[in-house]
Amino acid sequence: MPPIIEIRKLKKHFNPPDGVVAVKGIDLDIMEGEIFSLLGPNGAGKTTAISMMSGLLTPTDGDAIIAGHSITRETMAAKQAIGVVPQELAIYPTLTARQNLNFFGKMYGLRGRDLKQRVDEVLDFTGLADRANDPVEEYSGGMKRRVNIGIGLLHRPQIVFLDEPTVAIDPQSRRNILDAVKNLNAGGMTVLYTTHYMEEAQELSNRVGIIDHGEIIALGTQDELTRMVGEQDTVRLTVPDVPPEVLDQLRALDGVTHCQLAGDGNGNGDGNGDNDSEHDRKNGEIRLLAGDGRAVLPDVIQVINRAGLSLRSIEITEPTLEAVFLHLTGRALRD
Ligand SMILES: Nc1ncnc2c1ncn2[C@@H]1O[C@H](COP(=O)(O)OP(=O)(O)O)[C@@H](O)[C@H]1O
Ligand SMILES: [Mg+2]
């Protein structure tokens, strides 16, 4: 069976000739019926890629063929196959959930009884039926997200794109959204999901593409990806207010192959992680890779004690997608 989405040399250069090359010529196939996650830090190019694949942003080069239709040349037909749930909320705050869904349903060409039925289905599916007649501005962040998701599903698309749908919402709404994604997929929908939370990619995906600086740097099932890290443990430490020289000392220990702070790097959201921000140091979530996690623990604890710092938590885990990212880039993903 041919892939349902074929991404070919998809590229976006903002404001050339200078500007940012946000997506650097991506090639990717997504198969019918899978949940594919694009996992990468803030600024990696996820939204830019999704926006081009949704026909919202014109590629500088390349194309995406969606259910047999080119998004650049047959935009309407390609768009018909996809439901897009954008990262930024696209709802009218003063309208109720039902009014929002009615409005967008009409935009998709739904009318009369079909529209009413579909709006009711979507309200049920997103768990918003009880609150359907309250203005959306009275909703929690998570409920607003669910309206956003509902809008993307109205026209019964074959494929859904969800761009970081769980950022900045409460745990219960997050759970609800992850379960909804699984339910949609169980019903046969192909899902392209973007996130910077490795746990979500781990929980949801058949396959994961790790994206960084506009490039897919690794692609495969979780097993395939974690095998790239080899026989290494991840050691997760929390040391609030950790100074940079302590990170250097940890990095220099025998048996430690990588040591980074988890965070978005410099707090401005570009996620390049080249500098550890104040904020990240304050949180002090350190990620170490080591051939034998247990063997390095005494030295790690000694470094932290000598510096007079408090070790709030410590945990050794098998390689995760986060370890894959650390292994490939030398930087830690925020989770
Ligand atoms: N409209 C734009 N104009 C210029 N640069 C942009 C624009 N949108 C995004 N960028 C830049 O492109 C890069 C990728 O951004 P984005 O696709 O939003 O990443 P992500 O969704 O992975 O966080 C970032 O460096 C961002 O600053
Ligand atoms: Mg984004």
Quick: pLDDT tens for 306-325: 999 999 999 998 888 989 99
The confidence score (pLDDT) of residue 312 equals 96
42 CA distance to ligand 2 centroid (A)? 6
Q: For 183-241, how does the pLDDT look when each residue is reduced to its tens digit (9 = 90+)?
A: 999 999 999 999 999 999 999 999 999 999 999 999 999 999 998 888 889 999 999 99
Run of H or E residues at 323: helix 321-329
Residue 253 DSSP symbol: S
63 CA distance to ligand 1 centroid (A)? 19
At 269, is the pLDDT very low, low, confident or very high (cuts 50, 70, 90)? very low
- 44 Cα nearest atom in ligand 1: 22
The confidence score (pLDDT) of residue 262 equals 87
**Shortest-distance Cα residue to atom 18 of ligand 1:** 47
Report CA Rg, the chain.
22
pLDDT at 35 over 90: yes
pLDDT at 274 over 50: no
CATH topology of domain 5-220: Rossmann fold (3.40.50)
When mean pLDDT is compared across 125-134, 166-175, 236-245, 260-269, the lowest value belongs to 260-269
23 CA distance to ligand 2 centroid (A)? 12
Rounded distance, CA 31 to CA 24, Å?
22
The confidence score (pLDDT) of residue 278 equals 87
Domain boundaries, the chain: 5-220, 229-329
47 CA distance to ligand 2 centroid (A)? 4
Nearest ligand (C-alpha, residue 15): 1
- 48 Cα nearest atom in ligand 1: 17
CATH topology of domain 229-329: Alpha-Beta Plaits (3.30.70)
- 51 Cα nearest atom in ligand 1: 17
Asked if omega into 2 is within 30° of 0 (cis), the reply is no
At 143, is the pLDDT very low, low, confident or very high (cuts 50, 70, 90)? very high
pLDDT at 327 over 50: yes
At 270, is the pLDDT very low, low, confident or very high (cuts 50, 70, 90)? very low
Rounded distance, CA 55 to CA 64, Å?
10
Highest mean pLDDT among 68-72, 226-230, 277-281, 287-291: 68-72
At 79, is the pLDDT very low, low, confident or very high (cuts 50, 70, 90)? very high
For the chain, give the percent of residues with pLDDT over 70. 96
| Pocket residue to mutate for ligand 1, from 11, 12, 14, most atoms within 8 A of Cβ | 14
Mean pLDDT on 102-123: 96
Rounded distance, CA 149 to CA 160, Å?
9
The confidence score (pLDDT) of residue 275 equals 57
**Shortest-distance Cα residue to atom 14 of ligand 1:** 45
Rounded distance, CA 214 to CA 44, Å?
5
* CA atoms within 13 A of residue 57's CA, in its CB half-sphere: 21
Q: For 88-105, how does the pLDDT look when each residue is reduced to its tens digit (9 = 90+)?
A: 988 999 999 999 999 999
| Pocket residue to mutate for ligand 1, from 18, 39, 42, 48, most atoms within 8 A of Cβ | 48
Q: Pocket residues for ligand 1 (CB within 6 Å)? A: 14, 20, 22, 40, 42-48, 270
**With contact defined as beta carbons under 8 Å apart, do 277 and 263 qualify?**
yes
